Chains A and B, each alone.
Chain A
Amino acid sequence: MTEKAIEAKKKGQKKSSEDYTYIGMVFHRLTRHKLAMAGVFMLIFIVLFVFVGPLIWRLDPNAQIEGLEGLFNPASRAHPMGTDDYGRDVLARMFFGGRISLFIGFASAISSTLLGAIVGLVAGYYGGWADNILMRFTDAMLSIPTFPLLIALASVFGKGVWQIILVIVVFGWMVDARLVRGLVLSLKEQEYVEAARAIGASANRIMWRHLFPNTLAVLIVSTTIGIGGNIIYEASISFLGFGVQAPFASWGNMLQNAQQFIWNSPRLIIYPGLAIFMTVLGFNFFGDGLRDAIDPKLKL
């Protein structure tokens, strides 16, 4: 805390925005953003559900209850969300499916942002033909309808968690690349970059130590929103049958299995869908709030 802030505190005044560090200021503005806070609470709930839930509810998500009586049980004390078509406990599958869905969302969003950042940094910093080739390629990738190709790749490589992540990353980096390139084009003209070049910093060092940190705020927002979008992608791929394969659960493939039982056991559809919906909504609320919080033009 600066002296001014301490003084202000003595007088009983509120902190003004000058008294914060950048991160402190963003955090402060974020806490005043109602929807962002709603998003945070939703995400905390989901994370607790998925990670703490299995510690309390210790049923094997793949264990099947023997006999016909075990199938399609409605909600009961033994199975709060009932059992599915193989007599597996739906609640336990929701925990494990959620972990996989969240992991795929996180890993793919972070990797595609990084890949996009690399392309954007190189294109923006070097300019010239490198920029030309990279951006032409980015434009081409942007004009291909992503989803059909995603399915084509998933149908070949799919089936595993890592492969799904890879497939999502291949088609997920373009927007970030453009974003970073745009920022780098204006950043690299600034004096501090010239100063760094003057004392002999290497291109790599300038890109990663001087330019990249300045794009982080924007990239974090895009990653946050990307996580939500990628969870839907994973669910969509799994829903069409090319995603994470049985017996492993993901929210997406739980929905795919449940589709045929829509007439008799609608709850098998309602739970995983609701979980995906809440998670994605949480990330969207939070990401949007974050965007507002780092935008200096907005008053919060």
Chain B
Amino acid sequence: MRDYIIRRVLGMIPLILIVMIVSFGIFSLVPNPFAALIENPRIKKADIQRLIKAWGFDLPWYLRFFKWFSGVIRGDWGPSLLYPGSTARDVIARRLPVTMRVMGLELLVSLVIALPIGIISAVKQYSMTDYVVTVFSFLGMSMPSFWLGLMMMMLFSVVLKRPSGVPLLPAGGIITPGLEQAPFWVKLGDRAQYLVMPVFVLSFLSIGYYARYMRSSMLEVVRQDYIRTARAKGVPERSVINKHALRNAMIPIVTLIALSVPGIVGGAAITETIFNIPGMGSLIIQAEIKADYPTAMIGLMLSSVLVIVFNLVADIVYAWVDPRIKYS
């Protein structure tokens, strides 16, 4: 097992390098943002040249990559072009907590809802409940996030109003302006209102995946002989499901959860855009179309590295909960 982990960790290095080069290569296709400044007669040509040189836009992309990469090795991720005056790391650090709050809640809410309904749906296969769960799962999987978001906004921020005339839920943002200095509980309640719609939209889209996965994993298990044996021995159906079947059915789910964790830092670009949430997803997109490669690269690398690491975590956890699996 130890050798296996060492081998896998070493294998991560080329993987991360490929990810870096591919992402950087794609970002470098975005046109040089300073070239457009030449049109502006009030900026000196020499200044523009200096800017281009400082940002490395005078170099071909692979040389710029080495320039950037040698900085990264020394822990310097470079300044942000999108937010002049901040380093790219600070920009990310400001956005990360917002995204983690939304995405973490989303993961929690979807799992809490999806796992039980997936189990029920498998235990009562082909029943009415099963069909309802299946259809709802598919509705969520097929819904374009922006459309659901806009429809929710229409309903809760335009049509439905409180008696005071204020919309039932705020249409976008993360906190009511002016409440930043309010006491903790007031702030918490206020922030919660802003979270309801985005978290609902994101959860609705992913509940289907988790529920379907849980259902098929459970179905796989209840078909097996040892379940029939347990039933034949006269074990009550409740404990057949809860004790015998569920434990084995949870094994693939543990992996699934491990693989979902990296999504927490990546953010959801579209939902963030619609609800005007200053998170990672929308930041990365703004950064890359403005050629702010230092910021966009941190965002992407954060997600990719977590995906790679959690892939290994998933495999290790898998072997840990299922003693039949041995890596050599």
Contact = CB atoms under 8 A, between A and B. Distances in A.
A46 B226 CA distance: 47
B269 A269 contact: no
Nearest to B14: A136
A270 B154 CA distance: 10
B299 A148 contact: yes
Contacts of A228: 142
Interface string B141-158: 111111100110110001
B304 A145 contact: yes
Interface residue range, chain B? 35 or more
Contact of A143 (B153, B154, B158, B304): B304
Interface stretch (B23-31, B109-117, B313-321): B23-31
Contacts of B311: 143
A contacts with B: majority SS: helix
Interface string A153-180: 1011100000000000000000000000
Interface in A89-140: 136-137, 139-140
Contacts of B266: 145
B18 A136 contact: yes
Given A140-B18, A259-B150, A273-B151, A148 B269 contact: yes
B22 interface: yes
A239 B150 CA distance: 12
B135 interface: yes
Interface string A140-151: 111111011101
A239 B146 contact: yes
Contacts, number: 118
Interface in B153-193: 153-154, 158
Contact of A284 (B138, B285, B288, B303): B138
Contact of A280 (B142, B300, B307): B142
Interface residues of A, number: 40
A148 B139 contact: no
Contacts of A152: 26-27, 29-30, 288-289, 296
B15 interface: yes
Nearest to A170: B26
Contact of B143 (A142, A148, A269, A277): A277
B288 A276 contact: no
Given A145-B303, A148-B285, A281-B139, A153 B154 contact: no
Given A240-B285, A262-B153, 20 more contacts: A136-B15, A140-B22, A143-B19, A143-B308, A144-B22, A144-B304, A145-B304, A148-B288, A148-B296, A152-B289, A153-B26, A232-B142, A236-B270, A239-B144, A239-B146, A240-B269, A255-B150, A280-B142, A280-B143, A281-B139
